[in-house]
Structure 1
């Protein structure tokens, strides 16, 4: 999309709005189809499918085209497409120079978004919607039990291990993603994941088992260390077969089978119909398993979480990335975050207003809970000062990084944010991506559209993202900064510009 530069672009906006209404109509039709699919799966013996499945059966990650074409067969594709189109349009409007015109379009835009949201809610029979979420939770519980079984073998002396060295020079989000990387490969190769030195050496000044439950019932000192170094044994191949060592992820110069983003293809048909990003959902299950707090830590975190009034209405979260991240990613001021929180609440307020009018009941707009925002940051003092321009009532706190207290603080923030209905953060941050992934498992439903990034698109390891071109695009004449693209091409996106354009190049290997 091009920026608004003249009056003709004003008419283009309304054409796009009409196009969005058309997508909503398609969503209306496909939602019925999605409900029929659910009834079909409800009649199938899903338990028989999951009972006979093993982790070593899941395949390499599905290609972008496979995912795209599979999603087109159900309503989830059109929901995702609608949300993507609306976000790009919103950014286009925000980049316009005519602010007065923008305000008028913005109000129409919010109105259409509210209508689309209500259509989606009203089309979903509440009972069917609840049963869909129950099915996702059933699958989540099943995978949890399968992981637990593999991680706790009956005989550690004959178990096959993947030995994972915890990262010692990165923060909590980075460590969690390294462990989920190891766990994904361990599951795919049918091995038990075990930490080198049982997780004693890592970024924080506490042992892993002081904070979380043990990753396995096996012990590095007893079940791995006696066999080292491998080269001293006569039967080297046997020992390598039993013990596979995985060092720092950044030291591996190639893609490894079963590394994220993957999901079990045997469950693809189910997952594609009930979640718009199956690999994200599956990765959320891995994070959920890793994130099993010890009893003492769980009690402390529960007390912190209990202070957040989730039962009183929706809460929107903000994670502001500062401190040691200046060199990694561009800093964003709070105004950029609040643009999206205000947008979400404007739509939610309008949606509830329309729902009240539609139901014609005694509820009034005065009964709608006031907007609530939870702000988390590694540098709270400066963020609080900035936030006071918009909101009041923040309490200051400045924990020391890489201590037990700071670890508890960031764990509490992540758990609280993962329970919010909408979160604004930056996907260049491991913590932001961790919130997004954990959200899928904690909330037990499709929350793939519940996070807005201010910088890059989501990928598990903050790398370039492959996307399929959905329509032909011819660049402007004499514009060296643009490329022509044909429908079906795969392009590699480094980052979006959030004005309708992205930095991208052709993925020659996939094309």
Structure 2
């Protein structure tokens, strides 16, 4: 007997603003709602293409679960009529006010949002936010590898303030005032929380380079005089 149940995809958006943009101790940049939605559209476009290739003629309802501390974003969703936006607007109102956010009820709602965000097909967020990071870590408990189920508009997953993973360039980059890269070239640097690393590819010149043009890689270990050495450059 064929099951009548159908797989219904849903994406999650987590958009954190307010204290992340106003606090002197934070390093997040403003990202427009349209910038988030571009990646949502890309995901659904690829999903629908796979459905057609597999012979399905069912029209996919584009659903998005929205978690944000900015009430104004709910008005912006009206510009995307082909999408159904789901979420807890009362939570948004509470999260937008520090007096109501930092309460037991506010903490419970944040934990609930993190849990909901983790149970999805894909998350578009900023990993400079602890909420986005926790949702991604929860996803790892539900999948063998959830690395391809999240897209961050700023930071990569990992520590801040220290040199991050060694990177290998996958695209060339030649912008005046920024670090020059060629495919296969190695570089290492500091996370800048805005889509860039500040680093070097020769151990001398330090400049910015975009995170989307590199991928994390493992250092090459060499044995010299009975000791392990890391060969980076």
Q: TM-score, normalised by structure 2?
A: 0.68
The verdict on how the C-alpha distance between 1:437 and 1:472 changes in structure 2, with shifts beyond 3 A counting, is closer
User: Is contact 1:493-1:505 (8 Å) kept?
Assistant: no
Structure 2 residue aligned with 1:346: 45
Between Structure 1 and Structure 2, which shows a larger proportion of helix residues?
1
Between the aligned partners of 2:54 and 2:20, the Cα distance in structure 1 is 43
* Unpaired runs of at least 5, structure 2: 95-99, 204-229
Structure 1 residue aligned with 2:74: 384
Between the aligned partners of 2:113 and 2:35, the Cα distance in structure 1 is 20
Q: Deviations over 1:291-346 (max 9, x none)?
A: xxxxxxxxxxxxxxxxxxx9751110000011211142112121011100110000
Q: Aligned match of 2:89 in 393, 396, 403?
A: 396
User: Is contact 2:187-2:199 (8 Å) kept?
Assistant: no
Q: Aligned match of 1:370 in 37, 49, 61?
A: 61
SS state at 2:65 partner: strand
SS state at 2:165 partner: strand
The verdict on how the C-alpha distance between 1:462 and 1:371 changes in structure 2, with shifts beyond 3 A counting, is farther
Q: Say whether residues 1:355 and 2:54 are aligned partners.
A: yes
Structure 1 residue aligned with 2:213: none
User: Is contact 1:439-1:447 (8 Å) kept?
Assistant: yes
Between the aligned partners of 2:191 and 2:120, the Cα distance in structure 1 is 28
Tell me how far 1:455 sits from its aligned partner: 1.0
**How many residues are matched?**
188
Structure 2 residue aligned with 1:492: 189
Q: Deviations over 1:418-464 (max 9, x none)?
A: 011100000111111111111010x2321111000111222145755
Report 1 or 2 for greater relative contact order, CA contacts < 8 Å, sequence distance ≥ 6: 1
Structure 1 residue aligned with 2:206: none
Between the aligned partners of 1:419 and 1:373, the Cα distance in structure 2 is 13
User: Is contact 1:426-1:453 (8 Å) kept?
Assistant: yes
User: Is contact 1:428-1:462 (8 Å) kept?
Assistant: no
User: Is contact 2:13-2:125 (8 Å) kept?
Assistant: yes
The verdict on how the C-alpha distance between 1:370 and 1:486 changes in structure 2, with shifts beyond 3 A counting, is closer
Tell me how far 1:496 sits from its aligned partner: 8.4
User: Is contact 1:317-1:422 (8 Å) kept?
Assistant: yes
The verdict on how the C-alpha distance between 1:486 and 1:337 changes in structure 2, with shifts beyond 3 A counting, is closer
Tell me how far 1:504 sits from its aligned partner: 3.1
Structure 2 residue aligned with 1:414: 114
Structure 2 residue aligned with 1:318: 13
Between Structure 1 and Structure 2, which shows a larger proportion of strand residues?
2
The verdict on how the C-alpha distance between 1:474 and 1:456 changes in structure 2, with shifts beyond 3 A counting, is closer
Tell me how far 1:488 sits from its aligned partner: 5.7
Structure 1 residue aligned with 2:219: none
Between the aligned partners of 1:372 and 1:421, the Cα distance in structure 2 is 11
Structure 1 residue aligned with 2:209: none
The 5-angstrom pairing of residues 238-277 of structure 1 reads: none
Between the aligned partners of 1:319 and 1:462, the Cα distance in structure 2 is 24
